Amino acid sequence: MKYTNVCIEAFSHTLPEEVLATAELEMMLQPLYSRLKLPEGRLELLTGIRERRLWTRGRSPGEQSVETVRRLLDRSEIDPQRIGALIHGSVCRDYLEPATACGVHHALGLPPTCMVYDVSNACLGILSGMIQTANMIELGQIEAGIVVGTESSRSLLEATIRQLNTDLSIDRKSVKSAFASLTIGSGSAAVLLASKELSRTGNRLLGGAVYAQTEHCNLCRSETDQSGGDAMNPLMRTDSETLMQEGVRAAAATFELFLSEVDWTRRGVGRTFCHQVGRVHQQLLFETLGLPMEINFSTLEHLGNTGSVALPTAASIGFESGFVHPGERVALLGIGSGINVVMLGMLAGKP
């Protein structure tokens, strides 16, 4: 896919105040650790995640998404009344119906002619929403659109800890399937896309590539389809090692398509923002893609894996901190369970 008229105008993010250190999480798992004689410090050692954050209990994904979009609009000079699409793209949502995007749209007072809906695609929901928005802008259907999402990890963490501590059938082998759930963190991120004529930043979205290896759709899945509120009692089963290997393999195939589509070379990639899973995954990914780790902006150490908002949150913090310089080629590298891969390329405009 290629774009000639689309800009990624701005990113924004909001983060919870409550911090849960990995050491504290392991203390909560003492019944499991004692029974299986697991060494303390193992989780941080394997993942590189020191801490993650949790939203205040009772805070809905939609409420937090409203705050994140308000911050996004404050950063932009674009009139909110020119927003033609609002997409909510996180795994967590307020209800099964209506779309969480409806409440966000109402709270923000966006125009009634704005298209409003949710997108669900595991950790790629926001990137998928970005593609849909970019397509609408390229076709001239809208001038600008917003993609937002909020992920809440509290319920998943609490349910996982409870099961690990009480299910005596869990052994050293079966505990591995719950390992990925303990890396999850909370966060919220939003992206504003606009036409080239409307843009003030000139951050051009050049194009990208997608790739699917759905024969691996069962490597990471929840038990049932549930919404993302506090009543949610989710449990995840993840074959972390196989998912990492197959995900990186799919990413390698996508990266070749991506470079060809945007007409870049590996050496031409200036900065990257990727899905944040863990230290070993990042090292293997960049080694396989033939890219230096130094060009990537990492947040996993203090945020953990925040699902669909991980990549846009990293981009928001990275742009905010001056990590990206005008004229640099920026690759957005998304890998999600399914397995699906989305890679997008942008050319940074003025600061």
Q: Which residues are catalytic?
A: 97, 123
Q: Residue 249 belongs to what H/E stretch?
A: helix 240-262
Cα–Cα dist 69/71, whole Å: 5
Q: What one-character DSSP code corresponds to residue 335?
A: E
Cα distances (angstroms) measured from residue 334 to each of 155, 174, 271, 274, 309: 24, 28, 14, 6, 11
- Count each helix (H run) and each strand (E run) in the chain, helices first: 11, 13
* Among 307, 242, 321, CA closest to 275: 307
* Among 5, 2, 1, CA closest to 193: 5
* Among 17, 12, 93, CA closest to 54: 17
Cα–Cα dist 212/223, whole Å: 22
Q: What one-character DSSP code corresponds to residue 231?
A: T
Residues with Cβ < 8 Å from 287, sequence gap 6 or more?
none
Please say whether the beta carbons of 268 and 295 come within 8 A.
no
Exposure letters 108-143 (e unless 16+ CB within 10 A, then b): bebeeebbbbbbebbbbbbbbbbbbbbebbbeeebb
**Type of residue at 259:** L
CA end-to-end distance (rounded Å), the chain: 26
Please report, to the nearest 10 degrees, the dihedral formed by the alpha carbons of residues 89, 91, 95, 101 taken in order: -10
Q: For residue 300, how many C-alpha atoms fall within 13 Å in the half-sphere facing its CB?
A: 24
